[in-house]
Chains A and B, each alone.
Chain A
Amino acid sequence: MTALMVDTGTKPPPEREKRERFGAWRRLPPKAKVGALLLGFFILIAIIGPSLAPYDPSYQNPNPSLSLNSPSAAHLLGTTQNGQDVLSQLLTGVRMTLELAVIVGLVATAIAVVVGISAGFLGGLWDEVLSLLSNVFLVLPALPLLVVLLGYLPQKGETATILVLAFLGWPWGARIIRAQTLALRNRDFVAASRETGEASWHVIVYEIMPNEISLIAASFVGTVLYAIGASVALAFLGLADLNSWSLGTMLYWAQSDQALTLGAWWWFVPPGLVVALIGTALVLLNFGIDELGNPRLRSGSGTIKVGGKWWGQTDPTPVLSQAQRRPSRAGSFLHSFSRESLTEGPTEVAGPVP
């Protein structure tokens, strides 16, 4: 938006500016709109929720008549077996779950960007070693490793969970960022920047990264999604600080106190539903980001009905010629171990291009 205004040089009148802003929003795919609105709602809850909570989530009401109450005016989502207010726990839990997931997302995406861009930009042996590393981490099953790592830790607090989740959350993002960097590296504008003698970091920060923003955003959203899923699952297994209130620990206590068997659905269903809604919001947002980059994925668009049959659209833009890679000798040797070496053209296997 701002970049657009700078380009034109003159500041558009406020009316037009307003129309442009809403225009950008209108151009968003509907799925992305729903996702963004839903996510915004939960972020708002995470920010103001704990101060809205009518009770202290940990307060155990000693009055036995308040145990396992179904929803009422005093307790909108009922009470737990210990007389704790479910709504207060939920409002506090959303903050902790989202906070943890966002921190994990930031840390893991930062690692992914550093690894992915250095692998793609530096190329050669660097690329091969870093790609090998991310492929290995991608193929190793994450949850068992998480469980074992947390099993060894004496205190299973929030910091430990964040570190462990971030440590295992980066390879997927690194892989797609590397692929995009490889494609960008030999484009003309990057070559021009290099020819003028800019330092590597300058080319990376000002030429390559701005062209990968949507990919980095998608990778961030994906990592946040993974962090929510993994942290809730780990808390459910009891591998978290069980005295704090997150959506996962709520589910842990609901399950270990047999909420469902006792018929206390108001205790068990809301946290799970909130996790599902946050997850849906993130997935829809990612759909939207994907569709912005590849309009053909939009359902319905690009197909026409002729004679009772649906016809797919042909590619409107010619495919940009694939950037040629120039792997080093050791690099091409290592590269031939990867699954991708199979699907690439024969020139790549043949070795360096003069």
Chain B
Amino acid sequence: MRFIIRRLVFYAVAAWVALTINFFIPRLMPGSAVEDIMSKFPNLNPAAYKALEAMLGVGHPGSLWHQYVNYLNDVLHFNFGTDVTEYPAKVSSLLAQTVPWTVTLVGTATIIAFVIGTGLGILAGWRSGGWLDRVLPGLTFLQAIPYFFLALILIEVLALHAKIFPLGQGYAGGDIPGWNWQFISSAFYHSLLPAFTLIITNVAGWMLTMRNVMITTNGEDYVLAAQAKGLPHKRVVLTYAARNAILPQLSGFANALGFVVSGAIVMEIVFSYPGVGLLLLNAVTSNDYPLMQAIFLVISFAVLFANLIVDLVYVFIDPRARARSA
């Protein structure tokens, strides 16, 4: 319990850093964002101008400290301001529409990639020098291909020519989002190719790290002792070597979540998938600063939350951690 509380404090610090960076970015950047926005959107009224100034901190209403406190207060109440592109839509409602898409697809694909990659890593590490181990350099090439490049080629081949998968979007044009079978099956069908591309680009990385940890673990005395006792092969691999090797793999997983999210953003842009990443790019191209900042915060918090979950799993599977955190 103590460990969990301490990690909670760490994430609180990280969240505070994210909030503070987010607060200072618009205030330190050159150029007048407000003028930019006003010239792009002539239909904004003077009240919106004031609101923008307050949001971006250009008009300097009150001291910096005062602005900061107000900003933290707004964020606490999920008040991210008004969106400028789809004025007067609330930024928080735009987020509520897009977050579930990203979380469902990216979350599932990441976990599948992690499980497959770790499994293959166990095999490659145990049979070091076996055929699985020898194809690793080839997988490296697959991993070095820029994600969007691979995805675009797969869209070209599998969706445009072979017509096995849809071209993009989250669901078929005629469907109305809702909890009915037609919509859910359409959404599932549209998520297959994006998920597939995310999985094949991530598997090699997990496999490689797991293989390396497995090889180090195989050299440990307790593995040799287990082999010497004549335990079944499967038991030595799974409960002696792999079980110990998976702990560093799991903290590696937590550390890599930020990268996974970055890949997901590009994925959504390539597939026009109606998630947070696409929203972020649209916000950037239309100079929609309030939306941009809110999305950054939401993504950061999601990554921090996922890290916390990994910590909980860690405590669950590592007996040493359980003993110490009790």
Interface residues of A (CB under 8 A from B): 31, 34, 132, 135-136, 138-145, 147-154, 229, 232-233, 236-239, 251, 255, 260-261, 268-269, 272, 275-280, 282-284, 287, 290, 294, 296-297, 299-303, 309-315, 336-339, 341-343, 346, 349
Closest to A34 in B: B137
* Main secondary structure on B side of the interface with A: helix
Choose one: B141, B254, B280, B285; the contact of A280 (CB below 8 Å).
B141
Number of interface residues of B (CB under 8 A): 86
Chain A neighbourhood of B257, CB < 8 A: 139, 141
Interface residues of B in 191-235 (CB under 8 A from A): 212, 215-216, 218-221, 223-224, 227, 233
B66 at the interface (CB under 8 A from A): no
Choose one: B127, B133, B251, B292; the contact of A151 (CB below 8 Å).
B292
Per-residue A-contact encoding for B124-149, CB less than 8 Å = 1, 0 else: 00111110011011001101111111
A296-B215 in contact (CB<8A): yes
Closest to B307 in A: A139
B314 at the interface (CB under 8 A from A): yes
> In the assembled complex, how far is the CB of residue A296 from the closest CB belonging to chain B, in whole angstroms?
6
Chain A neighbourhood of B255, CB < 8 A: 138-139
A139-B304 in contact (CB<8A): yes
- CA separation between A179 and B219, bound complex, in Å? 22
Chain B neighbourhood of A236, CB < 8 A: 146, 148, 266
Chain A neighbourhood of B216, CB < 8 A: 294, 296
Chain A neighbourhood of B223, CB < 8 A: 312
B162 at the interface (CB under 8 A from A): no
A251-B258 in contact (CB<8A): no
B143-A283 in contact (CB<8A): yes
Chain A neighbourhood of B283, CB < 8 A: 151
- CA separation between A315 and B134, bound complex, in Å? 23
Known contacts A148-B292, A275-B145, A314-B224; is A132 also within 8 Å of B13 by CB? yes
Closest to A309 in B: B233
Per-residue A-contact encoding for B236-259, CB less than 8 Å = 1, 0 else: 000000000001000100110111
> In the assembled complex, how far is the CB of residue B285 from the closest CB belonging to chain A, in whole angstroms?
7
Which residue, of B255, B262, B280, has the highest number of chain A Cβ atoms within 10 A? Answer: B262
Chain A neighbourhood of B147, CB < 8 A: 233
